[in-house]
Amino acid sequence: MLTPGLGMDVPRHKPLVMVETTNNRGFTPDEIAQHCVNKIISVSDNAHPAIRDQARAFSSQIQKVLASHMQEAVRNDRITVYNALKDAGHPQLAELIRRL
Amino acid sequence: MAFDGNFMCTSFKKELLEAKHNFLATGGHQFKLALYNNDASFDADTTAYTSTNEVGNTGTYEAGGGDLTNVNPTTSGTTAFTDFDAAADLEFTDATITAYGALIYNSTTSGNPAVLVLDFDGAKTSTNGTFKIIMPTDDANSAIIRIETPVAP
């Protein structure tokens, strides 16, 4: 009698991972917030429409909150770097950082 | 040659039965992901990491690729699965890279045995920027390594 074996092959022509890239910059807080939300919340296309819509609305709201706080973190970190550079005697470099 | 799809390496399946791979988050092996240009020719017969046709050192990318973070294997129903990078994806910064695919391999086990060939479905390019690989959701339907019971005929 034949028995079915365990399967562990992967779909050959369906991307298994996503790749995102940037040119001449890093990811923006908005982009990182989107990556973050995608990790936290996943919404099935097969979910009940009412639940799916609610989940997507929640996801969108969380994305905005995350982006806002990430922008705040960047601003605060720049203030820290600005002061460190200024204290080290590099006021012009500090000013460049502050204006980014 | 070129990338022509994703493959679970056949040698990896055999090595699983020989206990040569450990995916535990604590005390498990170190798995890595290396990036390749389109001259790489990997398939299910690929057995180990190679530096041939790997993208060059750039930014935070160095030969051999980046470290993946293991996620403890678990089960759901009759499916056992594991994934990498539950919280943070692998990324290379300040990097100028054009890659068509990747190889996941075990850098702890002797010989750097291959696990999985990933086809990016075309060129992915970063220029003095960030190259980020986003792993699938760690669940029974999407995790990158799953052992499933086929539906009975």
pLDDT, tens digit (0-9, with 9 covering 90-100), for B58-113: 999 999 999 999 999 999 999 999 999 867 789 999 999 999 999 999 999 999 99
The answer as to whether A81 is a domain residue is yes
DSSP state of B55: P
Nearest chain A residue (CA) to B131: A21
Ranges of each domain in chain B: 7-142
Q: What is the dihedral of CA B75, B77, B83, B89, to 10 degrees?
A: -120
Distance (Å) from the C-alpha of residue A5 to the closest C-alpha of chain B? 7
Instruction: Please measure the distance between the N-terminal and C-terminal CA atoms of chain B and give it in whole angstroms.
Output: 37
**Contact yes or no for A78/A100 (Cβ under 8 A):** yes
Give the pLDDT confidence score for residue A78 in this predicted structure.
94
> pTM to 2 decimals?
0.88
The answer as to whether A4 is a domain residue is no
Chain A positions touching B127 (Cβ under 8 A) are: 23-24
B110-151 pLDDT tens trace: 999 999 999 999 999 999 999 999 998 888 888 999 998 876
Give the pLDDT confidence score for residue A26 in this predicted structure.
94
Distance (Å) from the C-alpha of residue B136 to the closest C-alpha of chain A? 6
Give the pLDDT confidence score for residue B86 in this predicted structure.
67
How many other β-carbons are positioned within 10 Å of the β-carbon of residue A31? 17
Cα–Cα distance, B67 to B1 (Å, whole number): 27
Give the pLDDT confidence score for residue B44 in this predicted structure.
96
Chain B positions touching A42 (Cβ under 8 A) are: 137
Give the pLDDT confidence score for residue A3 in this predicted structure.
66
Domain residues for the domain of A57 are 29-99
Cα–Cα distance, B52 to A32 (Å, whole number): 33
CA B13 to chain centre: 14
Which residues pair with residue B31 across a beta bridge?
Answer: B106
Cα–Cα distance, A74 to B133 (Å, whole number): 23
B118 to chain A, any CB pair closer than 8 A? The answer is yes
Tally of domains within chain A: 1
